[in-house]
Amino acid sequence: MKNKDKKDLIKDIIEYSKELRLPQIRKHVKEGMEEAYQDNVSYEQFLHSLLQKEYDKRIENGKLNRIRIAGFPAKKYLEDLRVEELPIDAQRKLSILKTLDFIKNGQNVILAGSPGTGKTHLSIALGIKACLAGYRVFFTTVPLLINQLKEARGQSVLRSFELRFEKYDLVIADELGYISFDKEGSELLFTNLSLRAGRKSTIITTNLSFERWDEIFLDPVITAAMVDRLTHKSYLVNMNGPSYRMKETKEWLKKHQEAEDFSVEEDGKEIMKI
């Protein structure tokens, strides 16, 4: 077999990497070869360096894809939380939740409390951390989930939806309690959350205490069964406390009021006050 020159080798490697879908090798092989010749790098080191670039990029893309597919309404991170402003119970349990052991153990997390105390932020932040750790995550609101289940049933694709729903390592069901639903919705939600119980993790955020869940399920039997299934071996986090969202709004208003409250002077005399 005739030996090829350097230029032809690079051309072939780029073509092979394109066909094999190895974009980082295609991108870095030319400069990598030049550096290897210049620094007298061994074949093993050269190959290791190229494969490591491909591997690292693939891992990074996997993280980004899992975050994108999860369907978060916004990107919120644990590092952005004002921990000192979270309700006391959340502050105490945050260090445990951050380990993500609850996902590994198939445990649920119930974040229950008044609006504006960080329930959604905390759930999204845990979800993003789970994506970065390699877990498959699905974010939805409870009303949207019920609509999706009803549509799937109406289109005779409910079982395929349920199979996908079962396989997520973590499902985040936000806003339980803001809207009540009918008997069909209650039964669909109960069935699908029950399928995950004890095997896969679910984070529920709710503004209602458990004794008030019958206000949305409108069925005491389903309500009792739902509470029992979701809370078994779960982390229950009391999120009652002052709204830091309201505090942020007041700070924002105060800041802008101070910015507007100034005097325009001419020749040392006040002529306008806004």
Q: Residue 108, Cβ neighbours under 10 Å: how many?
A: 25
Mean pLDDT of 221-241: 93
pLDDT of residue 48: 86
pLDDT of residue 258: 60
> What DSSP designation does 5 have?
P
Per-residue pLDDT at 274 exceeds 50: no
pLDDT of residue 29: 84
If residue 258 lies in a helix (H) or strand (E), which one and from where to where?
helix 244-260
- Residue-range domain boundaries for the chain: 6-66, 71-246
Q: How far apart are CA 179 and CA 143, in angstroms?
A: 7
Which residues are within 8 A (CB) of 258 and not within 5 positions of it... i.e. 6 or more apart?
none
Per-residue pLDDT at 262 exceeds 80: no
pLDDT of residue 263: 45
pLDDT of residue 260: 61
pLDDT of residue 267: 46
Q: Which residue reads 């005779």 in tokens? A: 156
Q: How far apart are CA 217 and CA 223, in angstroms?
A: 6
Mean pLDDT of 151-157: 94
Query: Which option is the CATH number for 71-246: 3.40.50.300, 3.40.50.720, 3.60.21.10, 3.30.390.30?
Result: 3.40.50.300
Mean pLDDT of 56-68: 95
Question: What digits encode the pLDDT tens for the residues 87-120?
Answer: 999 999 999 999 999 999 999 999 999 999 999 9
